Amino acid sequence: MNDNEAKLSGAERAAVFLMSLGEDSAASVMKHLGPKEVQVLGQAMASVQNVTKDKVNSVMDDFVTTVTQQTSLGIGNTEYIRSVLVKALGEDKAGGIIDRILMGGNTRGLEQLKWLDGKTVAEMLRLEHPQIIAIVLAYLDSDHAAEVLAELPERTRHDILMRVATLGGIQPAALQELDEIMERQFSGKQRIKSSSIGGLQAAANILNYLDSSVESPLMEHVAETDQELSEKIQDLMFTFADLNDVDDRSIQALLREISSELLVLALKGADDSLKDKFLKNLSRRAAEMLQDDLEARGPVRVSEVEQAQKEILSVAKRMSDEGTISLGGGGDEYV
């Protein structure tokens, strides 16, 4: 990779490539992308500017090199994929990954839900059995599932979350019921094994994206019903305090994505060790300014502090999903 290409991220290189193809060809490519991929790529296309001819040529050369290295090996060979992943990761760890890979082509109904906003999905599921709702939430990305859960009636949220947490797999009968809800678009009939989605980590991930005003009463209900389950979920949640365990390089990358005003608000409710974590990853001048702002800032509502922390965590999780930072703590999901 040459110096020009190194200045562009993966999403930006993809954006440059698509913009070089022309509208029709770019549209044909984007039809095959998922909702999050479209969003990331769209943002990159909107942000790239002053792209030199050398950068375009570099991106094109990289694409041609990649394509010419491709062969037909492995096409359609799902059993080979399954075997390799099980040998590499073990049956338990590989199960969820295999399902995510192989279910993609067999879940047209569920995949379509990923393109809808949380309120619309909630409306579609509102009258369905809580177990069906739990299966759908476990399949969706955690931030999307949190949006859906927040739109569902408050009296049903804790029951649904507990079902997500205790979901050990989807049996054929449940898949059949989901088939009917998705208007027969979910072709899971060929799968004889249950699918490894849901579980404690899935429930914890959904809670991570919920607003504190929704999360707190929800967890209180769960604790009242099953204290042990509540504690297990809490142990897996990634909190603002867990940023103390994140490596310095990732903290520096996170700091470039958030405003100083947001950071000041969030740190008003943090302990000294976490404040020091952020301060040491700033330049001397920036650290002094942040310290002055923290000391000068008067009393702040707890709700404002929690909201600021949630916003920073949301940015951190997005960056983690994109592979630009590594989050420690909170379970294997963030390692």
pLDDT tens digit sequence for 46-87: 777 777 777 877 777 777 677 666 555 454 455 666 666 666
Average pLDDT of 201-213?
Answer: 78
Name the token pair of 198.
């849901």
- Distance between CA 241 and CA 306 in Å, rounded? 12
121-to-150, 165, 211 alpha-carbon distances in Å: 11, 20, 18
For CA atoms 200, 203, 207, 213, the dihedral sign is negative
Dihedral sign computed on CA atoms, order 292, 297, 300, 306:
negative
Phi, psi of 190 (to 5 degrees): -80, -10
The model's pTM is: 0.42
Residue with the bigger pLDDT between 104 and 127: it is 127
Q: Is 195 helix (H, G, I), strand (E, B) or coil?
A: strand
Q: For residue 149, give Cα distances in angstroms to 15, 152, 215, 285, 333.
A: 33, 5, 10, 43, 20
Cβ atoms of 37 and 63 closer than 8 Å: no
Asked if residue 183 lies in contact with residue 109, where contact means CB atoms within 8 angstroms, the answer is yes
The residue type found at 46 is: A
Q: Tell me the two tokens of residue 226.
A: 């099953």
Euclidean distance between CA atoms 16 and 55, whole angstroms: 9
Tokens of 307: 């909201």
End-to-end alpha-carbon separation of the chain, Å?
27
Q: Tell me where in the chain the CATH 1.10.220.30 domain(s) lie.
A: 107-236, 241-329
d(CA 208, CA 242): 12
Position 268 confidence tier, pLDDT thresholds 50, 70, 90: confident
Fold of the domain spanning 241-329: Annexin V; domain 1 (1.10.220)
The CATH code for residues 107-236 is: 1.10.220.30
pLDDT given at position 157: 92
In a 10 Å sphere around its CB, with 0-12 CB exposed, 13-18 middle and 19+ buried, how is residue 71 labelled?
exposed
- What pLDDT score was predicted for residue 82? 63
For residues 239-244, give the mean pLDDT.
84
